Structures are given as structure tokens and as C-alpha cells.
Structure 1
């Protein structure tokens, strides 16, 4: 499988894993079918569980993951709205908890675990609800926060849908060179984020560090760059998912795809919401 900029997709098996299920969907179907025909004790349930991955599996599992995340985010937002003191704990706890689960999924190769993916959705929802309140309450106030959040949500899925069309039409081809460029860009942005955080903690430039999150011109440019990288990352994620389907990965792999897409969607949403808050502050 071609490498992807998304760490969750990068941890999916390449050799000795899904890629050896046969030569595409036909190879998997034939191999699995022969096994079940040879063993009459295999139940219908086992046949269904072990079937190859389909696009419907990806859509369903991603929809479930986003649904759980949305419910968690809504609950978190209204909890913080009723008690602003909860904003910090929910945002910090959700972010750290979500990060830990992504690391477990990535390095422990447990990205296909339904429980882990849905747990991530719950924790990340708590984070999103709290951070959405913080980014909107101080820029447009709580009365207009819903409108700003709605704009960010529509913008996020608008970008997602647009990049899906770009991928399906082949307007931009996902090549190894394109992938390497995206991975390099993502590591560059990550290094800048960490550097900005560390410098801010040591009081550089009045605690603003490199000024990447201060709300000025640099912040706007940085958020636009992050939005662009997140958007083009979808192309690589779509390609990785497409290759898994073509390779005949088991249907449980849909949970890993859902996790990878959700990670990118969350990043994109936060950057769009940040950008909107910068314009409101101006």
C-alpha cells in the first residue's frame, strides 16, 4: 500500500497482513469461500464477519463514529455552557485521552478495534465541545456561538465532499511523490506547533511564541496552511482506503478507516473554527 500522511492509515498492515488476502476482491472471495466449503461447522455468522471489506462498511462505520463524536460534543458543549469551569478539564482530558487512544491504535495496531474507535469518538467529542465553546465564546459570545460552529461544520464537510469529488474524478493523482510532500508538510506543521507551544510556555514574545495562534496575520496564514494540508490529506486517506478495499481487507478494517478519516476531520474542523474566530476578533 502507498504510504499515507495519516498515522492511523500508516499503521495498517502492508506485508503479512491485508495485502496477502489474495489478488483483490476475487482472490479473497475465492480463498474464504474455499475455506468455508471445506469446513461445514463454520456458521453463517462467521461467514458474514469474515467477509471482505466494502465501501458500504466504510460509510457505515465512519457514520457511526462521527455520530458518537457529535453526540459527545453536543453534551460537552452544553455542560460547559452551564458551567464554564468545566471547559478546561473537558478540553484537556478529551484531547489527552483521544491522543492516547490514537497512539495505542497506531503503534499497537489496534485501529480495527470497534471499542477503541468509539471510545476515541467519545473523548474527542468532549474535547470538541469544550474547545468549540472556548473559541466562540470569546469571539462572538455564547448567543452567536451556534452560528459560528455551524459555519465551521459546514465548511469541514464542504471541504471533505470537495476533496472526495477531486479524488473520484482523478483531478489530482495520488502518487508516491505527492504523498512524500504531504508527509513532509505535516511534519513541518507539527514542528512549528510544538515550537510555538514551547516558546509560548517560556514567555517568548509575551507568551505568544511564534505568533501562530495569536490571532494576527501570521495566525491566519498558518491556519490556512493547516486547512490546505488537512484537505489534501483526504486524498491520500481516500486512496489508502480504496487500496484496502481492492486488496480484500476484512470488513473490520472499516473501523480503522473511520478512525483515520475522523482524525483528519477533527483537525480540519478545529482549524476552520480557529480561522473564523480570528476574523471575528479583527
Structure 2
């Protein structure tokens, strides 16, 4: 059975004991923590995801309203650090999931303001595009129009890793040598890279929905809903930024 290519959800599903059924022990009575524990439900995932997305949006709005875009660079590094940490060391932490959303919201707010100043209206279009893709992939998964097969999963993982290598190479070439590989200059290659990135991020949503479904069937603790919400937010941020960049390219043509 395919698993998600998002490291956050993938590690969650393979973590020893993380998806074991919640509840009291089999002998000696339940500990206080176990006694208050219960299996995860769909409502848990929905509520926690809405909470994380709400913080993300509120943080982006406040960044623009208060004009604190100078925090975008440290917020970017803080978000990357939190993302890597939670991906490598999965844990059901509401504080870390909400903190990730808050710092990434600063990045989204500043990026939206920057691109919208260059191309008025592009921010609204990016929000609508991201919402439509999220809703569309959820509907496609729920109705089983798209099957999450092992072959397509390997394609998504390969595309994601390939994009990561390319963008890191672009970053090193630009910052270290002042060279431009053409991956973010708005040309045909940049358009292709953005389209592939959007397609890969969209499919990652399908993989995460499948992982969350398996997570529900496993009877894991309801606390892990925060981790599911974090994984969805991480992909949402990536998707939005790529759509924003693609729309800005199209305004140039």
C-alpha cells in the first residue's frame, strides 16, 4: 500500500508505537494520561487542521496589516527548522504545529504582498487557486476518482526530490557564484518547474489524505491529529507559493 511522500505523515505512520490503539493498558490499571486518551476521529483531524490553517491565515494577514515583512527571512528559516525537526522527530505537539503555522504565515504574507505589488490581484488569484486545488484533490480522493497507486506515488516522490535538488542547485549557483540557472527567472524552464511543482504538491495532498485515512483506521491517539494538520499545512504552504510564483510568471508573458 502506498504511503505519503510528505516526510511528516510518512514518519508518523512508520513510527513505532505512534499509531498503536489509544486507551488503557492491559494490566495494572490505566495511567492518568492513558485514562484520558482516546482514539483519533475525523472531527479531531478537521478541527485541528482548521486551527492550524486559521493561525496560518491570521499570521499572514497581520504581517501585511502591521507591515512587519522584515521578519520574513528569520521566519523562513524558523519554518524550515521546525519542518525538518517535526519531519525527522514526529511528535503530536499542538504548540509546535501552531508555531509552524505562525512563522510560515509571516512568509506567506510578505510573499503575497511582494508579488501583489508587482502584479496587482495575483495574491487573490493564488488564494483561490490553492483553495480550488485543495478542495478538488479532497473530492477526488473521497470519490476515488484518482487512485493512489504505488507507481504514481513513486513518480510524486521522484518529482519532489528532483525539484529539491534543482532548487538547491539554483540557490547555491545564485548565492555562491552569481549564476542564474533559469529555474526562477520567468522563462520557459521556470514555467515548467512551477507546473511540475504544483502537480507534485497537489498529489501530495492525495497521499496525505490516504495516510490520514489509515491513521484513523489504526486507532491512534487523538493527539496525533495535530501532526496530521502540520503535514497538510506544510504542503499547503508549498503549493500556495508555487501558484503565486507561476501566476507572476504568466503576468510577464
- Normalising to structure 2: TM-score of the pair? 0.91
Q: 2:75 aligns with which of 94, 97, 122?
A: 94
Structure 2 residue aligned with 1:176: 150
Measure, in 2, the Cα distance between the counterparts of 1:20 and 1:128: 36
Measure, in 2, the Cα distance between the counterparts of 1:217 and 1:91: 28
Is residue 250 from structure 1 mapped to residue 221 from structure 2 by the alignment?
A: yes
Structure 2 residue aligned with 1:186: 160
| Structure 1 SS opposite 2:60 | helix
Q: CA deviation at 1:103?
A: 1.5
Q: How many residues align?
A: 252
Structure 2 residue aligned with 1:3: 3
Measure, in 1, the Cα distance between the counterparts of 2:13 and 2:129: 33
Residues 41, 221 of structure 1: alpha-carbon distance in 2 compared, 3 angstrom cutoff: closer
Q: CA deviation at 1:3?
A: 2.9
Paired residues for 1:58-207 under 5 Å: 58-80=45-67, 86-87=68-69, 89-110=70-91, 112-137=92-117, 139-140=118-119, 144=120, 147-201=121-175, 202-204=177-179
Measure, in 1, the Cα distance between the counterparts of 2:144 and 2:52: 27
Structure 2 residue aligned with 1:25: none
Bigger Rg, which one: 1
More deviation, 63-72/148-157? 148-157
Measure, in 2, the Cα distance between the counterparts of 1:50 and 1:198: 47
Measure, in 2, the Cα distance between the counterparts of 1:174 and 1:106: 22
Structure 1 unmatched ranges of 5 or more: 22-27, 81-85
Whether the 8 Å contact between 1:18 and 1:248 is mirrored in structure 2 is no
RMSD: 2.2
- Normalising to structure 1: TM-score of the pair? 0.82
